[in-house]
Structure 1
Amino acid sequence: MNTVTDVLEAARLRIAEDTEPNRFLEALEQGRVPEERLTWLAGELYHLVSSDRRSFALLAARFPEAPAGDLFLAMARGEDQALELLGGFATALGRTPKDLRAHEPRPLAQAYPAYLARAALFGTASDTALALLANVAESTLTYVRVADALVARYGIEEGALEHFRFFADTPQALLDQATATLADGLAGGDDPVAAVRCAAAVHALEAAFWNCLARGLGTA
């Protein structure tokens, strides 16, 4: 398991074994999420994206040479843009950037960014590159469905959903950088088993983020 293809396939198989329905997304698409819970979503995303921006900046500092340095700098800049775009969603909910900063984050909702910060501090460049590549398809679909549900079920205007559309459209150039970073890391001796473990953990903790938001909503 030393090639990009082998490692990516191993990560995807591991993730497929641990994939369950997104209960928050299902409730959102059925119109069962109260407005207060949407403000939770905005606040939790504010803390998550703020943390990820710092994590990618740290990775860029630890691995400054191309291709890893270019990848992580681009990802840090992307989180910065996403954080700015989140303000549009907050405004649509009658909230301000100050309200987002004041939101008290739920620990389990923030388990994913906490793990990413750990990976940024102690992990390899391959770990985070593989996590991106292995999870991008599911993440893309999730953000598309969230945005579509917010339009269809809650009447939120498309212009307020740029944050979600941004994460639903990962540039191919970024994925190419991630692939090059993974190949470079594996060639340099990065542990492929650890990289697969990281990708699977990121998937599980991203699911925990959404499940935390779904608590108490019940079933259809």
Structure 2
Amino acid sequence: MSFADGLVSSEIQGLRERILWHPLWRQIEDGTLERERLSLFALQDWWLVREAYRLDALAIAGIADLEIQDLLIRKLTPKVGGYKLLLRFGEAVGLTRADFDAVEPLAGCMALTNYFYWMLAYGTPAEKLAAVSASEDIFVQICVRVAPALVRNYGLTPEQVAFFSAHDMIGEQVTPVDEALLARYDTPEERKRIERAIHLSHEYEIMFYDTILTTMIK
């Protein structure tokens, strides 16, 4: 069960299914995705992961309630150092640290990143939490399937795909915090804003994965 399962409409559940079974993940599971696209995903996800510390810091700084700040800090702690695991995965699919340092975001990646920053700048506290949490939550579910598929189909080791397998443990620690945070916003108006934030988050997530599949590889 996801923290969002009890919050969203059937329309959003449909979006969640589109993300979970996106062709990007299905091609990894059946071993047909080119290794070059694995590299492209690693680079574009690096852009997002690199921004994550700033996003979490802004979320913490933007909340005046000290109890909520404590919860947000608890949520950040399990994710510390995750970028090192992504670098390890990138190296396993042929990238260098110089490749990561020189990364430029594709349109779908930038759109998702900008959405998170827009929410942090202009959203209500409930919207800020829901927008980022929805994306993190569904990626945890994806990683449960992707990690073993990368080992099975691409000859990678469990250590090389730890960026994905570690998300299961992160989810176990983060999901209860998300539930505790969002439980504080239970008025009809707040729930409406939460649903809208999740809906947009999922649509931008789909756009990001579409970009990985459709971008021409040089």
| TM-score, L = length of structure 1 | 0.82
Distance in 2, matches of 1:75 and 1:168, equals: 14
Give yes or no for the alignment of 1:99 onto 2:99: yes
The CA deviation at 1:211 is 1.9
Identity of aligned residues (%): 23
Structure 2 gaps, min length 5: none
Distance in 2, matches of 1:51 and 1:190, equals: 30
Amino acid corresponding to residue 13 of structure 1 in structure 2:
S
Give the equivalent residue in structure 2 for 1:85: 85
Alignment of 1:1-220 (within 5 A): 9-18=6-15, 19-20=17-18, 21-131=21-131, 138-186=138-186, 191-215=190-214
The CA deviation at 1:136 is 6.0
Distance in 1, matches of 2:111 and 2:76, equals: 19
Distance in 1, matches of 2:189 and 2:170, equals: 25
| Secondary structure of residue in 2 paired with 1:55 | helix
| TM-score, L = length of structure 2 | 0.82
Cα 1:51–1:216 shift into 2, 3 Å? closer
Amino acid corresponding to residue 43 of structure 1 in structure 2:
L
| Secondary structure of residue in 2 paired with 1:177 | helix
Aligned residues: 211
Query: 1:130–1:182: 8 Å Cα contact kept in structure 2?
Result: yes
Distance in 2, matches of 1:130 and 1:183, equals: 11
Query: 2:60–2:72: 8 Å Cα contact kept in structure 1?
Result: yes
The CA deviation at 1:110 is 3.0
Amino acid corresponding to residue 214 of structure 1 in structure 2:
L
The CA deviation at 1:164 is 1.0
Query: 2:56–2:76: 8 Å Cα contact kept in structure 1?
Result: yes
Amino acid corresponding to residue 208 of structure 1 in structure 2:
M
Cα 1:132–1:120 shift into 2, 3 Å? closer
The CA deviation at 1:86 is 0.9
Larger deviation, residues 126-135 vs 190-199: 126-135
Amino acid corresponding to residue 130 of structure 2 in structure 1:
L
Distance in 2, matches of 1:66 and 1:175, equals: 20
Distance in 2, matches of 1:175 and 1:25, equals: 22
Query: 1:53–1:79: 8 Å Cα contact kept in structure 2?
Result: no
Amino acid corresponding to residue 179 of structure 2 in structure 1:
T
Query: 1:43–1:100: 8 Å Cα contact kept in structure 2?
Result: yes
